[in-house]
Amino acid sequence: MATEKQVARFGPFANAIANGVKKGDTIYLSGQVGIDDAGQVVGAGDIGAQVRQAYANVAETLSHFDATMDDIVDETWFVTDVASVMGNMKGVFGIRAECFGGDPQVAQTLIEISSLVMPELLVEIKCIARV
């Protein structure tokens, strides 16, 4: 018998994308960015503020499936300036550790791209969680 798919859709872009989809024990999150509940960019030009907001959005999406940051097993960061991220790695990854509540035990990939959906965005974080 096929496992039922559960979908979480909320926030300013609920009509355009699902925030997350759960199939079996795996949760696939759409890329999360530094946008608040009103659809406004948080921290234009500030990678740390955008990372913090993106992870807040990740945590909120996971909560719709009764999951937490501890359930994340894989994440991919898409950034518009990898040199800037690496130059501020201690600060950016310190924020990452804060958001995870400690040193994250996840597989992680960092990819530079030319742009994101809005020109003010610097980072998008896509995650897979297992529950």
The angle, 0 to 180 degrees and rounded to 10, between the axes of the packed helices 89-100 and 47-63 is 20
Tell me if the domain spanning 5-130 has CATH number 3.40.190.10.
no
Residue 2 pLDDT greater than 90, yes or no: no
DSSP class of residue 9 equals -
Beta strands in 54-100 (DSSP E): 72-79
Confidence at 66, pLDDT banded by 50, 70, 90: very high
Beta strands in 30-93 (DSSP E): 32-33, 72-79
- The answer for residues whose C-beta is within 8 angstroms of residue 38's C-beta and 6 or more apart is 12
Pairwise CA distance, residues 128 & 119, whole Å: 25
What pLDDT, in 10s, does the model give residues 25-57?
A: 999 999 999 999 999 999 999 999 999 999 999
Pairwise CA distance, residues 37 & 121, whole Å: 15
Terminal Cα distance for the chain, rounded: 20
What pLDDT, in 10s, does the model give residues 85-130?
A: 999 999 999 999 999 999 999 999 999 999 999 999 999 999 999 9
Per cent of the chain over pLDDT 70 is 99
Residue 1 pLDDT greater than 70, yes or no: no
